[in-house]
Amino acid sequence: MSFVVIIPARYASTRLPAKPLRDISGLSMIQRVWQQALKSSASRVVIATDDSRIEHAAHNFGAEVCMTRTDHVSGTDRLQEVAEQLALNDQQLVVNVQGDEPLIPPAVINQVAANLAQHAGAGVATLCEPIESVTDFLNPSAVKVVTDSQGMARYFSRAPVPWPRDHFQYEQLSMPALDLARRHIGIYAYRVAQLNSFVHWPVAPLEQAESLEQLRFMWNGVGIHVADAVEPVPPGVDTEEDLKAVVDLLKDI
């Protein structure tokens, strides 16, 4: 199995300006993400950006960089452009590793690629983890996923699904014993053919309603395989508080 990791990295961020270049214990965030990706089994790791400052920094630490257009509305669109620039064939597996996850475990990068390779009926693969607190279950920022018995996604939502009606009729302070609630983890593996199709489809109604672009694949009949991550995935970095938390975690490693 061969796969390519692409790391989309945008300079602009309303909550954390210059996010990819922010220092984390002596290294930029994007360098730390790149280093974690290099520890995976990927045949190639490429940073995708539309900003010359990120390009310059990445070249300085030895990364391969692909410059992309500035008008992409999503990371998936940016990935497709990179796949096109690199002339990747339709069946090539590509893993999207977010540029704001400096502690992403290499094992989950390998896992999501292997899962897609093993499921010919899926065009996309992703990961999830159990939800253990009511706060997370009810939080619309925590995306939930429901799967069937074969691990294929049936729906992604910001709403608390599946809703344990009988439990919450009497108790809303704890999660029910039934182990069904799953939080989606935002790492994806794609076949390039699906990326090429995605950019030509219009925004799907469900995608627009939930503001979740993976629903565009499902709306158009593309199967998404989902599995529990083999290792805990630390949160990404969106705010100054998140950045400090990562620095603190690295002190303990």
Q: What confidence tens digit (pLDDT) does each residue in 160-208 have?
A: 999 888 878 776 777 776 688 999 999 999 999 999 999 999 999 999 9
Mean pLDDT over each residue of the chain, to the nearest integer: 92
What pTM was estimated for this model as a whole? 0.93
Question: If 0-12 CB within 10 Å is exposed, 13-18 middle and 19+ buried, where does residue 74 land?
Answer: middle
Paired strand residues for 124: 190, 224
Rounded Cα distance, 126 and 153, in Å:
9
Q: What confidence tens digit (pLDDT) does each residue in 122-173 have?
A: 999 999 999 988 999 999 999 999 999 999 999 999 999 998 888 787 767 7
| pLDDT for the residue numbered 179 | 82
**Percent share of the chain, pLDDT over 70:** 97
Other beta carbons within 10 angstroms of residue 139's beta carbon come to 15
Please tell me which residue, 196 or 240, carries the higher pLDDT value. Answer: 196
Q: Would you state the structure tokens that stand for residue 123, as one six-digit string?
A: 């065009």
Q: What confidence tens digit (pLDDT) does each residue in 217-232 have?
A: 999 999 999 999 999 9
Q: What are phi and psi of 19, to 5 degrees?
A: -50, -50
| pLDDT for the residue numbered 177 | 65
Residue 140: closest CA among 161, 171, 126, 125: 161
Rounded Cα distance, 7 and 33, in Å:
8
| pLDDT for the residue numbered 253 | 62
Helix (H) or strand (E) holding 250: helix 240-251
Given a cut of 80, whether residue 234 has pLDDT beyond it is yes
What DSSP string runs through 154-195? EEEESS--S--HHHHHH--SS--SS---EEEEEEEEEEHHHH
Rounded Cα distance, 88 and 85, in Å:
8
Q: Which amino acid is at 243?
A: L
